[in-house]
Amino acid sequence: MSVSYAPAGKPGKWDGVMDWCQMLSGAGLILFMWCHMLLVSSVVISPDLMDYIAEFFESTGMAQVGGPVIFLVFLTHFVLAARKIPFRFDGQKVAWQHARMMRHGDTWLWLVQVLSAMIILIMGSIHIWVVLTDLPISAMKSAARVQSGFWAIFYLVLLPLIELHVGIGFYRIAVKWGFVKDSQRARFKRGENILTMLFIAIGFITLLRFLFLSVA
């Protein structure tokens, strides 16, 4: 009696393709978030500078087209990453028990990334929707939003979560795909921590600038 089997390499091949897509979409979002933070923080130098940058992106159509594209990449990345996230309670319990048992730093980083991803999916979607449905972007409009009270708290939560998620993602991509050797891991991790704290600090300074920017 002959028995036929499905090709063994096929599931692995597609899983590998999806891993590549997850890595590339994650790397693209990391680059976008760093650039986005630096561009928004231009308000610290001058509100006029931020308005000039925003006007450039809108006049060239990059904001109107780029915004939805980024949102699509954002959702795609989440779907790809969700393949490895346990959504059932028993799976979550096992992941938590393994993290406690192994006491492995990178495992805890993955758990932080998973938890932050769930919150960012909701809050990030709200932020993108509010910004894209209220074009054009301006320093005064952003300041008025932050000074309303609710949005200040909203961004105080979203900002560190995004930067933690981005920083951990940057580290995990570098380690997983062999860009950083085992002997370089500790030093690279320290550098990533410094970079993450730097972007969080820039974000908080930017929020303070919006809070105290006169919108009268």
What residues are designated binding site for heme b? 36, 77, 127, 165
From the number of C-beta atoms within 10 Å of its C-beta (0-12, 13-18, 19+), residue 39 rates as: middle
How far are the Cα atoms of 31, 103, 137, 214 from residue 141, in angstroms, in the given order? 25, 46, 7, 11
Q: What torsion, rounded to 10 degrees, do the Cα atoms 121, 65, 58, 206 define?
A: 20
Of 130, 138, 134, 133, nearest to 50 by C-alpha is: 138
Name the binding residues.
36, 77, 127, 165
- CA 128, 131, 133: angle at the middle one, nearest 5? 100
